[in-house]
Structures are given as structure tokens and as C-alpha cells.
Structure 1
Amino acid sequence: MITFSEAQLVAWISPILWPFLRVLAMFSVAPIFSMRVVPMRVKVGLAFLVAVCAQGVLGELPVISVNDRAALAAVTQQVVVGLAIGFSVRIVFAAVEMAGEVIGLQMGLSFASFFDPASNAQLSAVGRFFGHMALLLFVVINGHLMILMAVVRSFDRFPVNGNFLEALGQMRLYELGASIFSSALWIALPMIALLLFVNLTMGIISRVAPQMNIYAVGFPVTLTVGLLGIAATLPMLEQPVLALMQRSIDLFGGGR
């Protein structure tokens, strides 16, 4: 009769368990993977497949018994690091959506809001459009592969040692969160300048021809120029999204 000891089982399971937990935690918050249309069984199976395939590039991982006190700290560290990777990518989408909100406010479309079930919040039509464009661009630039590589390479920077507080201190996610406003302004700056020029032009016209109803003329003009400006500046969205993605991935050693 073939028998296995607990030490042998732990030695076989540990190399797969730690990457599996980290990838599964990332799947719970990362774009595309965290969508409700993706079944939980698919997420678990894909996380297990990634953990198995990553064994060829991962170094020797520590063997920690499930009865050991350090097992809980190690599990917590994997969950924290995985959630941080997904959250950092979420920040990129938040910056793009905020840029859309600013553009929609300048265009006068801030009142056209819809309920977004993914974020459980109200988003304007322009903000939601920019969010969908960022999601499509995320797939085109292989962002899903970038975050998977970031998870695998994060074991070099954040090895399995159970010290999740030290890992949080090294990530400095607060700096990435503070860049949401500057990044959103960077993306929306061409449209802000264009709409500001339109508003200044409409102000001059209202002074030159006071009999013209500027409120009746200004809205369709601003809306038309805004839509044309979005169509003209949308191809330039790739560069800031790529820069933000690279910055967020580099926090976890993905740029090495």
C-alpha cells in the first residue's frame, strides 16, 4: 500500500499553493478577470493553471506546513500582494474614467449619467465611453499578460516570508493613487484646451452680438466640437495608458 507523509504532501503542494493564492487574489479585482460574467470556477481553474505553468520560472519557494503558525501570515501576504496588483491596474482605469468625467463636464454632458454595475456608482456617458475604450486598449496591448507576468515576477521582489506589512510598505500604492488626478488631467488636457477655446470664442460672440441667444447656440456647438475632438484625440489615448500600466506593473518587478 502506497502511503504519503504530511511532510511529503506539503512539499508537493507548497510550490503551487503560494502562486495560486496570489493569482487568485489578483483575479478577484483585476479588470476583465473580475467581471461577473467570468464564473468563479473559471477563475479558480485559470489561477491553478497559471500557478502550475509558472513553476518553470519561479525559484525555490519555502515549504510551510499548514499546521505552522507562519502559514496564516504567508497566506495573508499572498492575498495582499495579489489584491495590490489588481488594485494598481484598477487605478489606471480610474484615471481614464476620471478624464472622461472631466471632458463630459466641459462638454455639458455631466447630467447624462448611468449606473455602472461594475463599480456600483453613477458614471457619465463620456466617462463610461472612455472606460470601455481603456478596457479594449487593455486587451489590445496585452495588459492581461502584463499583469500575469507581474504576478510571477513579484515573487522576486516580494518572496514568501509572511511579512505582508513590509510588502505593503515597499509597494507605495499611495503614490500611484495620488497620480490619478495628474494622469486624468494629462489625458483630458487636449480636450480641455479645445473646449476652453470654444467657450472663449462663444463669449466673444456674445459680446459682439448681444442679441444672439448664446445659451441656445452654445450647447450644440460645444457638444459638436467636443464629439469631433474626442474622435480626433482618441488615438492618442494609447501612450498615457501604456505609461500608466508600465508604472503600475513596475511596482511589482514587472519591468525587469
Structure 2
Amino acid sequence: MITFSEAQIMGWLSPILWPFLRVLAVFSVAPVFSMRAVPMRVKIGLAFLVALCAQAVLVDQPVISVNSPDALAAVAQQVAIGLAIGFTVRLVFAAVELAGEIIGLQMGLNFASFFDPTSNAQVSAVARFFGHMAVLLFVVINGHLLILMAVVKSFDRFPVNGNFLQSLAQMRLHEIGASLFSSALWIALPMIALLMFVNLTLGIISRVAPQMNIYAVGFPVTLTVGMLGIAATLPMLEQPVLALMRQAIDFFAAQR
């Protein structure tokens, strides 16, 4: 009769279990992967497949028994790192949507808002449009593959050792959050300058021709120029999104 010891079972299970938990945590937060249209069984199966395929590069992983006192700390560490990776990538989408909010405010379209069930908040139409464009760019630039690469590379910087507090101290997520507003302003800067010029022109016209109803003329002009400006600047959205994605991935993949 063939028998297996607990050490042998843990030697087979441990190298797959901890990457599986980290990948599953990423899939529960990261854009596209965390969509409600993706069933939970698919997420679990895909996370197990990624953890299994990553065994070729994840060598010399520590063996932590599920019965040992370090198992709970290891679970907390894997979940925290996975959630941090997914949250960092979501910040890229938040920067693009914030740029859309700023542009919509300048265009006067912020009143055209609706309830977004994914964020449980009111989102303007322009911000939602920029969010959809960010999702399309995410797929086009193989962002899903970049996330998987970041998860695999994160084991070099954050190995499975159960040191939960040390991993939190090394992540320093506030550095990524600080660049959110600056990145959003850089994305929206061309439209802000264009609409500011339009508003300045309308202000001069209202002073030169006071009999003109500037409120009746200004909104259609601002809306038309804003639509044309979005159509002209939208092809340039790829570079800042790609730069933000690289910054987010390098934050976990690069050695520091």
C-alpha cells in the first residue's frame, strides 16, 4: 500500500498553495479580472492554472505547513500582496477616470451622471467614457499579461516568509497614490488648456458684444469644442496609460 507522509504532501502542496492565494487575491481586485461577468469558478480555476504554470520559474520556494503557526501569517501576506497589486493597477484606471471628470467639468457635462454599480457612486458620462477607453487600452497593450508577470516577479521581492508587516512596509502604496492626481492632470492638461482658451474667447466676446446672450451660445460652443478636442486627443491616451501601467508593474516586479 502506497502511503505519503505529511512532509511529502506539504512539499507538493506548499509551492502551489501560496502563489494560488496571491493570484486569486489579484483576480478579486484587478480590473477586467474582477468583473462580475467573470464567474468565481473561472477565477479560481484560472488562478490555480497560473500558480501551476508558474512553478517553472518559482524555484526554491519555502515549504510552510498549513498546520504550522506561520500558515496564518503566510495567508495574510499573500492576500495583502495580491490585493495591493490589483489595487495599484486599479489606480491607473482611477487616474484616467479622474481626468475624464476634470474634462467633463470643464465642458459642463458633469450634470450628465449616472449610478455606476461597480464603484457604487455617481459617475459622469465623460469619466465613464474614459474608463471604457482605459479598459480597451488595457487589453490592447496586454495589461492582463503584465499583471500576471508582476505577480510572478513579486515573489522575488516579496518571498513567502509570513512576514506580513515587513511586506506592508516595503510596498509603500502611498507613493503610487500620490502620483494619481498628477497623472490625471497631465492626461487632462490639453483639454483643460483648450477649454480655458474657449472660455476666455467667450468672455472677450461677451465684453465686446454685450447684447449677445453668452449663456445660450457658450454651452453649445464649449460642448462642440470639447467633443472635437476629445476626438483629437484620444489617440494620445495610449502613452500615459502605458507609462502608468509600467510604473505600477515595476513597483512590484523591480528589485529595490
Normalising by the smaller structure, the TM-score range is over 0.9
- Output the CA distance in 2 between the equivalents of 1:254 and 1:229: 37
Shift of 1:170: 1.1
Q: Quick one: structure 1 residues 227 and 255, their matched pair in 2 at CA, closer, same or farther if it must change by over 3 Å? A: farther
Q: Is contact 1:146–1:254 with CA below 8 Å preserved after alignment?
A: no
Shift of 1:4: 1.2
Identity %: 82
- SS of equivalent to 1:36: coil
1:29 corresponds to which residue?
A: 29
- SS of equivalent to 1:252: helix
Could you list the per-position Cα deviations for residues 39-73 of structure 1 after superposition, in whole angstroms to 9, with x for gaps in the alignment?
00000000000001000011211111111000110
1:126 corresponds to which residue?
A: 126
Q: Quick one: structure 1 residues 255 and 228, their matched pair in 2 at CA, closer, same or farther if it must change by over 3 Å? A: farther
Moved more, 239-248 or 225-234: 239-248
Aligned residue type for 1:85: I
2:179 corresponds to which residue?
A: 179
1:214 corresponds to which residue?
A: 214
Could you list the per-position Cα deviations for residues 2-58 of structure 1 after superposition, in whole angstroms to 9, with x for gaps in the alignment?
111111111100010111000000000000000000000000000000001000011
1:201 corresponds to which residue?
A: 201
- Output the CA distance in 1 between the equivalents of 2:164 and 2:237: 35
Shift of 1:164: 1.7
Show structure 2 runs of 5+ residues with no match: none
Could you list the per-position Cα deviations for residues 165-186 of structure 1 after superposition, in whole angstroms to 9, with x for gaps in the alignment?
1111111110111111111100
- Output the CA distance in 2 between the equivalents of 1:135 and 1:255: 28
2:38 corresponds to which residue?
A: 38
Please report the TM-score for the alignment, with normalisation by the length of structure 1.
Answer: 0.98
Is 2:222 the counterpart of 1:242? no
Please report the TM-score for the alignment, with normalisation by the length of structure 2.
Answer: 0.98
Aligned residue type for 1:68: S
Is 2:14 the counterpart of 1:14? yes
1:68 corresponds to which residue?
A: 68
Could you list the per-position Cα deviations for residues 89-141 of structure 1 after superposition, in whole angstroms to 9, with x for gaps in the alignment?
01000000000000000000010001111111110000000000000000000
Count matched residues. Answer: 256
Shift of 1:254: 5.4
Please, what is the CA RMSD of the aligned residues? Answer: 1.1
Moved more, 166-175 or 87-96: 166-175
